[in-house]
């Protein structure tokens, strides 16, 4: 769907420019924007390499294990049906830490691993409840939905990405976004947690009612 939206926006913009006789200006903007895109990509590549390196050093130094234990109460509150000792907790923690630092692209690999493990957990639950799981349609579990929503809300303590963008485009105070970003993402994360807990409660209640029938 996003591909169609982007295609519509690009073609619409080009068509509008041509229809208004702005072919030369459109061509100049495309070339200029392409140059800016390459420059920004190089800048972000350096930022990404630095923070991914820091995350890897933290993992090998055992800091990620400590973070996992430190955030264990939070993770258990959000995902109460997952065993505290399951490896998925480490992936969830790493994803949360990366998101808190504003490193969405660094959070993605851990997020994919977490979702994969959650899918295995859900498959094991279904197999335990039903002998023949081939006839059971797999659906996103409560944990998977909660993880996705929390991921999107993305509490950010240090929005590294945005700071890098602002610095690249000549902002006088690139870090001025930190406090507003913290407030905005804090509210969005709080709303996300309340929504997930409420939705999970009603989903479990509906499942119990279905099993009684």
> Per residue in 65-124, pLDDT tens?
787 778 888 888 888 888 888 888 888 888 888 788 777 767 788 888 899 999 888 888
Is the pLDDT confidence value at 211 over 70?
no
Among 8-12, 26-30, 99-103, 104-108, which range has the highest average pLDDT?
8-12
Q: pLDDT category, 187, cuts 50, 70, 90? A: very high
pLDDT confidence of residue 208:
65
Q: Which of 82, 28, 81, 44 is nearest to 161 (CA)?
A: 44
Burial of 162 (0-12, 13-18, 19+ CB in 10 A): middle
CA atoms within 13 A on the CB side of 44: 18
pLDDT confidence of residue 153:
84
Q: What is the mean pLDDT of residues 200-210?
A: 71
Q: What is the mean pLDDT of residues 117-143?
A: 75
Is the pLDDT confidence value at 132 over 70?
no
Burial 75-87 (b: 16+ CB within 10 A, else e): beebbeebeeeee
Is the pLDDT confidence value at 154 over 70?
yes
Is the pLDDT confidence value at 133 over 60?
no
Is the pLDDT confidence value at 200 over 70?
yes
Q: What is the mean pLDDT of residues 162-182?
A: 82
Burial of 188 (0-12, 13-18, 19+ CB in 10 A): middle
Q: pLDDT category, 191, cuts 50, 70, 90? A: very high
Is the pLDDT confidence value at 164 over 70?
yes
Burial of 133 (0-12, 13-18, 19+ CB in 10 A): middle
Give the residue, 138 or 26, on which the prediction is more confident.
26
């Amino acid at each position: 769907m996003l591909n169609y939206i982007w295609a519509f926006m690009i073609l619409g913009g080009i068509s509008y420019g041509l229809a208004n006789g702005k072919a030369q200006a459109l061509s100049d903007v495309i070339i200029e924007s392409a140059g800016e895109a390459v420059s920004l990509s190089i800048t972000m590549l350096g930022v990404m390499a630095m923070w991914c390196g820091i995350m890897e050093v933290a993992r090998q130094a055992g800091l990620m294990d400590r973070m996992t234990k430190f955030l264990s109460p939070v993770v258990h509150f959000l995902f109460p049906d997952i065993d505290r000792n399951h490896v998925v907790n480490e992936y969830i923690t790493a994803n949360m830490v990366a998101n808190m630092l504003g490193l969405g692209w660094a959070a993605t690999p851990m997020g994919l691993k977490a979702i994969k493990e959650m899918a295995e957990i859900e498959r094991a639950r279904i197999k335990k409840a039903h002998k023949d799981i081939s006839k059971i349609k797999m659906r996103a579990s409560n944990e998977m939905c909660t993880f996705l929503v929390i991921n999107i809300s993305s509490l950010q303590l240090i929005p590294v990405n945005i700071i890098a963008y602002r610095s690249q485009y000549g902002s006088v105070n690139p870090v001025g976004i930190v406090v507003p970003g913290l407030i905005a993402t804090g509210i969005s994360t709080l709303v996300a947690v309340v929504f997930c807990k409420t939705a999970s409660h009603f989903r479990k209640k509906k499942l119990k009612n279905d099993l009684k029938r």
